[in-house]
Structure 1
Amino acid sequence: METVFLILLLLAAVVVANIVSWRFDNIPIAFIQIAAGLVLSFIPIYKHFELEPEVFLLVIISVLMFNDGQNTSLSRLTHQFGTTFSLSVELAIISILIVGFTTHLIIPSMPLALTFALGAIITPTDAVAVSSITSNMLVPKEVMGTLENESLFNDASGIVALNLAIAAAVTGQFSVMDGIGNFVYVFFGGILVGGILGAIIVAIRLRLINMHVDTPSVMVPFTLLTPFVVYLIAEAIGVSGILAVVVTGLIHGIQQNRLRLTSSRLQIVMNSTWQVVSSILNGIVFVLLGLSLPSVIINLHKHDTSSVFILLGVGILLYLIMTVLRYLWTNWDFARIRAWDRKEKHANSIVMAYSGVHGTITLAMAFSLPLTLNGQPFPYRTDIIFVATVVILTSLIVPTLALPLLLPKAVSKYSEEELAKAKGQMVDDAIVSIQTRHEKNTSTSQVINILDGQRTIEGHIDKAKLNIIFDNCFELEQQTILEMLKNEEITPLNANLYMRVARRTIIQYQQSAWQRFILVVRFGILEKFSPSKEARRRRKIFHQMKHQQADNRADMIAKNKKMWRQMAVTEKKPFEKVTSYLNQSLVNDKEKSREINLVRRAYDERHRRLTRTFNENENFENDQNELLIEAFQQENTYIQSKVATKEFSTELGSALYEQISTDQLVYLQSLNEE
């Protein structure tokens, strides 16, 4: 139970960090997650918290690497194979050797095998971390593509090299020829196993699709389990499980066109799931860094008071060495980047050097170091983790400060205001089209309500104004129902039932528990003791309804279905009154447009559900679906015409197309499930 609680706290810390980063978007999210981990470190339950190293490799690294693989373009990877191999293998090996010998010279007491292990840990780069830093900058496409391909395979190179270094530390011996042979077997064996398993798994997925067993409840868990299965099988054979996972992910990426034979719903669920999983795992790693940092520093102080400052200097020095190496490697054409001309080579090389950010994989590899070595505590484990932490933080801070000076600021092709305006024009065009073509269709009003919900409500919502509008609507409903009851247009039972639904709508949209309490008091206790003539008349009517319900309870149950069908009829007149009031309010008070539109959506949604649920027309559902499809097609046609005449930019058109696709899926699916 304690373990579950610890994990839940980690997840909560990631969520809080993500919320904070949304508010402070100029700060790299990794720093905020580290800060969240530091806060957790003060909780006593985390005082002796340790995560098994094998868990890092299996649960975190393998999943992240699989996701990177399936999101990588094979055509781009093939086109840049020479560059990718040079950076991810050749430069990685040279960096490991230089870092290892340099560290050994500074700290002679640290065995050479462990300094090489340190080099293997801090060599891998993190393209995702680079993207978070450069989100507001224009990074050359060739540079970003090169960084993504490099990070995909230098992670695997670092992990293979780390395993070899640890093996050397365990045996105390290292043969160059044996090391090269073992590296080739582990590296290329992992690629081969990953290719075979990837082909088998993709074939199984395609078979399930052909058998129509492609629901999210089957396919999403199937895909999430893939990296675990591949990793465990590869490690059991003795080859690189990480490389096998990467290649399996690449094969999934190759087969995406065939795998898209599944439903749009599944594709959206699958993509969203992987985005969430990847974000959470990345966040957990940095939260753990902040969580473990205090204990790492305390342990170092216990070991040697000056060691913290020495290791801090070592970490900064190693980062500088790797940064200079990256610049020289690309600027002196060792990376064989043919797409760069002479004029941009120097500038791109500097960007490449600063973009050598070390993130999740480096930290995960540091934590994956064994706790023991030959039955004894792993020597220098705390030191290696601390140096890796310094390298990570330095590699995050330096580009955060330097890259904005080297790269132009990204300028959005359209503003949020332009998107909202264009979306409103698109919706207006679709509504006019539906009204013109299907004026007499009973489903037209419901479809228009749905389309109207596509509009973007901009700006801050004033809760006080919102509640006043809701209260006014409720009063209007109540007055209308009482008039209908007085004129014997409806029965007391239907009136009472409708007012319960209306009251539930108002309470649902109150913004706080206190406001809900006030609402109950206002329409309950206070009204009960109110001396006004109108209040007494209301009490008399509803008192009669209450007694009628009690006397005819058996009847009410028997006629329940018919009664609810009558709700659609009962609701028509109050809805018209409310809609008229909101429309008039929108004309008279533009300052409340956001609040009025939000209230209108609430009533439109309730009206749509009541009409959809209790309408007796058997063709209602089909009519509404057909009109919706026609409306969405009209929206697509409208955008196409605006982009063709250059009234909308291509980027703005793409954003609107994406919105239509999502809305079409959500609305039609909700109609079919109701």
Structure 2
Amino acid sequence: METVFLILLLLAAVVVANIISGKFSKIPIAFIQIAAGLVLSFIPIYSHFELEPEVFLLVIISVLMFNDGQHTSLSRLTHQFGTTFSLSVELAIISILIVGFITHSLITSMPLALAFALGAIITPTDAVAVGSITSNMLVPTEVMGTLENESLFNDASGIVALNLAIGAAVTGQFSLLNGIGNFMYVFFGGIILGGILGAFIVALRLRLINMHVDTPSVMVPFTLLTPFVVYLIAEAVGVSGILAVVVTGLMHGIQQNRLRLTSSRLQIVMTSTWQIVSSILNGIVFVLLGLSLPKVIIDLHERNTSSVAILLGIGILLYAIMTALRYLWTVLDLARIRAWDKKEKQANSTIMALSGVHGTITLAMAFSLPLKLNGQPFPYRTDIIFVAAIVILTSLLVPTFVLPFLLPQQVNKYSEEELAHAKIEMVDNAIVSLQTQHGQDVNTSQVINILDGQRTIEGHIDKAKLNIIFDNCFELEQQAINEMLENNEIDELNANLYMRVAKRTIVQYQQTDWQRFTLAVRFGILERFSPSKKARKRRKIFHQMKHHQADNRSDMIKRNRQMWQQMAITEKKPFERITSYLAQSLVNNHENSREINLVRRAYDERHRRLTRSFVEDENFKDEQNELLIEAFQQENNYIQSKIATKEFSTELGSALYEQISTDQLVYLQSVNEE
């Protein structure tokens, strides 16, 4: 139970860090996650917390590598194969050797095998971390593509080299010839096995799709289990589980067009699931870094008061050496990046060097070091983790401060206000088109209510104005119901039922807890105990209705249906008055448009629910689907015309097209499920 609680706190820390990151977008999220981990370190329950090293490789690294693989462009990878191989294998091996020998010369007591292990840990780069740093900058496309391909395979190179180094540390022996042979077997064996397993799993997925067994409840767990299964099989036969997982992910990416034969709903669910899983796992690793740093520093201080300063210096030195190596490797054309002239070539080489950010995989590999070596505590484990942490932090800090001076800022082609205004224009145009062609029948009203949900409420909502508008609408409803009672259009029971729904609407949309409480008292407690004649009469009617239902349980569902059908009829006149009032208010008080549109949306949604209970046959659904498809097509045509006349930019049009595609899937799905 304690383990579950610890993991839940880690997840909570990731969520809080993500929330804070949304408010401070200029700060790389990794720093915020590390800070969240530092806060957790003060909780006593984490004083002796240690996660099994095997968990990192299986649960975190394998899943992240599979996800990176399935989102890698095969055409770009093939086009840049020589550059990718040079950076992720050749440069990685040379970096590991140089870092290992330098570390061994600086810390002579550290075995050479462990020094190479440190080199293997701090070699892999993290394109995701680079993306978080450069999210507001224009990175050359060729450079960013190279970084993504490099990080995919140098992670695997580092992990294979780490396993070899730990194996040498365990046996105390290392043969260069045997080491190269073992590396080739583990490396290329993982690639071959990953290709075989990937082809089999993709074929199985396609088989399930063809059998129409492609619901999210089947396909999402199936895909999430894939990296675990592939990793465990590969490790069982002695090849690289990580490389096997990467290649399996690539096979999924290659077959993506065929896998899209499944439903659009599943595609959205699958994409969203992997985004969430990847974000959480990346976040957990950085939270664990913040969580572990205080304990690591305390352990180093207890062993030697100068250890922290020495290791800090070594970490910064190793980062500088690897950055220089990356610059020389690209500027000397050992890894070619396309450039038009010498100046652009030097700029690309500088960006490549500074973008050698180390992140999730480096940290996860450091934590994956065994706790024991030949039955004794793993030597220098704390030192290696601390140096890796320094390299990570330095590689995050340097580009955060330097790259803004080298790269132009990314300028959005449109603002959020422009997008929101364009949505309103688009929806208004579709609504006018529907009303012109089909009138104002039940079907059209339903579709208009749905389309209205596409609007974005712009700017700050004035709560006082909002409450006044809601109160005015409630008064209009009360007047309409009283008139209908006087004209014998409805009976007392229906009037009371409707006003209960109206009161619930007011309570639901109040903006503060105190307002909700006040209205709940007004419409609930006082109504229940009021001594007035009307209140006593209403209580008597409801008591009789409940008693009647209790005596006729078999007819209760039928009566409830009839009751809500009558409610839909009763609502017609009040809804017309509210709609008219809000439309007139929008004309006379344009400055209150945000509040008016929000109130309109609330009443439109209630009207849609009530009308749905009144008409629920299949013909209605079919007609509504047709109208929705027509409306979405009208929106697409509207955007196309605006782009053609240069009133909307291409980027703004693309954002609107994406909005329509998502809405079309969601709304049509919801209509068919109702």
TM-score by shorter chain over 0.5 = yes
Contact between 2:227 and 2:245, CA under 8 Å: does it hold in 1? yes
Q: Residues 553-572 of structure 1: matches in 2 within 5 Å?
A: 553=549, 554=551, 557=556, 559-572=559-572
Structure 1 residues 229 and 542: CA distance shift in structure 2, 3 A: same
How far apart are the structure 2 equivalents of 1:400 and 1:196?
41
Letter in 1 for 2:409: K
The question of 1:546 aligning with 2:542 is answered: yes
The question of 1:602 aligning with 2:579 is answered: no
Q: Residues 279-358 of structure 1: matches in 2 within 5 Å?
A: 279-339=279-339, 341-358=341-358
Letter in 2 for 1:81: F
Contact between 2:528 and 2:539, CA under 8 Å: does it hold in 1? no
Contact between 2:476 and 2:574, CA under 8 Å: does it hold in 1? yes
Structure 1 residues 440 and 285: CA distance shift in structure 2, 3 A: closer
Question: Which deviates the most, 492-501 or 399-408?
Answer: 492-501
Give the equivalent residue in structure 1 for 2:190.
Answer: 190
TM-score scaled to structure 1, two decimals? 0.97
Letter in 2 for 1:398: V
Structure 1 residues 239 and 528: CA distance shift in structure 2, 3 A: closer
Contact between 2:100 and 2:116, CA under 8 Å: does it hold in 1? yes
Give the equivalent residue in structure 2 for 1:217.
Answer: 217
Give the equivalent residue in structure 2 for 1:667.
Answer: 667
Letter in 2 for 1:236: A
Structure 1 residues 75 and 617: CA distance shift in structure 2, 3 A: closer
Question: Which deviates the most, 625-634 or 635-644?
Answer: 635-644
The question of 1:261 aligning with 2:261 is answered: yes
Letter in 2 for 1:26: K
Give the equivalent residue in structure 2 for 1:163.
Answer: 163
Contact between 1:612 and 1:621, CA under 8 Å: does it hold in 2? no
Structure 1 residues 550 and 171: CA distance shift in structure 2, 3 A: closer
Letter in 2 for 1:208: L
Q: Residues 435-450 of structure 1: matches in 2 within 5 Å?
A: 435-439=435-439, 441-450=441-450
Structure 1 residues 159 and 448: CA distance shift in structure 2, 3 A: same
How far apart are the structure 1 equivalents of 2:364 and 2:340?
33
How far apart are the structure 2 equivalents of 1:632 and 1:363?
47
Q: CA offsets, 1:626-673, max 9 Å, x none?
A: 100000011111212222333222211111110001111111111111
How far apart are the structure 2 equivalents of 1:164 and 1:64?
22
How far apart are the structure 2 equivalents of 1:551 and 1:404?
73
1:619 is paired with a residue whose SS is: helix
Contact between 2:117 and 2:161, CA under 8 Å: does it hold in 1? yes
How far apart are the structure 2 equivalents of 1:91 and 1:563?
75
How far apart are the structure 1 equivalents of 2:398 and 2:296?
23
2:442 is paired with a residue whose SS is: coil
1:559 is paired with a residue whose SS is: helix
2:470 is paired with a residue whose SS is: helix
Q: Residues 204-603 of structure 1: matches in 2 within 5 Å?
A: 204-339=204-339, 341-439=341-439, 441-525=441-525, 536=532, 538-539=534-535, 542-543=538-539, 545-546=541-542, 548-549=544-545, 552-553=548-549, 554=551, 557=556, 559-603=559-603
1:346 is paired with a residue whose SS is: helix
Deviation at 1:621, TM superposition (A): 1.5
Contact between 1:69 and 1:253, CA under 8 Å: does it hold in 2? yes
Counting matched residue pairs gives 670
Structure 1 residues 432 and 40: CA distance shift in structure 2, 3 A: same
1:72 is paired with a residue whose SS is: coil
Contact between 2:61 and 2:364, CA under 8 Å: does it hold in 1? yes
Q: CA offsets, 1:528-586, max 9 Å, x none?
A: 7889xxxx564365245335535644478363322221111011111112222222222
How far apart are the structure 1 equivalents of 2:320 and 2:440?
74
Structure 1 residues 340 and 110: CA distance shift in structure 2, 3 A: farther
Question: Which deviates the most, 640-649 or 274-283?
Answer: 640-649
How far apart are the structure 2 equivalents of 1:618 and 1:201?
39
Structure 1 residues 46 and 572: CA distance shift in structure 2, 3 A: same
Contact between 1:496 and 1:545, CA under 8 Å: does it hold in 2? no
Deviation at 1:417, TM superposition (A): 1.7
Question: Which deviates the most, 413-422 or 106-115?
Answer: 413-422
Letter in 2 for 1:254: I
Give the equivalent residue in structure 1 for 2:11.
Answer: 11
Letter in 2 for 1:641: S
Deviation at 1:180, TM superposition (A): 0.2
Letter in 1 for 2:348: N
Q: CA offsets, 1:70-89, max 9 Å, x none?
A: 00000000000000000000
Give the equivalent residue in structure 2 for 1:612.
Answer: 612
Q: CA offsets, 1:176-232, max 9 Å, x none?
A: 000000000000000000000000000000000000011111001100000000000
How far apart are the structure 2 equivalents of 1:337 and 1:52?
40
Structure 1 residues 249 and 340: CA distance shift in structure 2, 3 A: farther
How far apart are the structure 2 equivalents of 1:492 and 1:359?
68
Give the equivalent residue in structure 1 for 2:29.
Answer: 29
Structure 1 residues 616 and 382: CA distance shift in structure 2, 3 A: closer
Give the equivalent residue in structure 1 for 2:128.
Answer: 128
Letter in 1 for 2:71: N
How far apart are the structure 2 equivalents of 1:294 and 1:551?
67
Contact between 1:161 and 1:183, CA under 8 Å: does it hold in 2? yes
How far apart are the structure 2 equivalents of 1:530 and 1:55?
63
1:653 is paired with a residue whose SS is: helix
Structure 1 residues 618 and 76: CA distance shift in structure 2, 3 A: closer
Give the equivalent residue in structure 2 for 1:85.
Answer: 85
Question: Which deviates the most, 417-426 or 120-129?
Answer: 417-426
How far apart are the structure 2 equivalents of 1:385 and 1:152?
22
RMSD: 1.7
Contact between 1:568 and 1:615, CA under 8 Å: does it hold in 2? no
Deviation at 1:613, TM superposition (A): 2.1
Structure 1 residues 352 and 616: CA distance shift in structure 2, 3 A: closer
How far apart are the structure 2 equivalents of 1:479 and 1:615?
27
| Alignment gaps of 5+ in structure 2 | none
Contact between 1:426 and 1:638, CA under 8 Å: does it hold in 2? yes
1:443 is paired with a residue whose SS is: helix
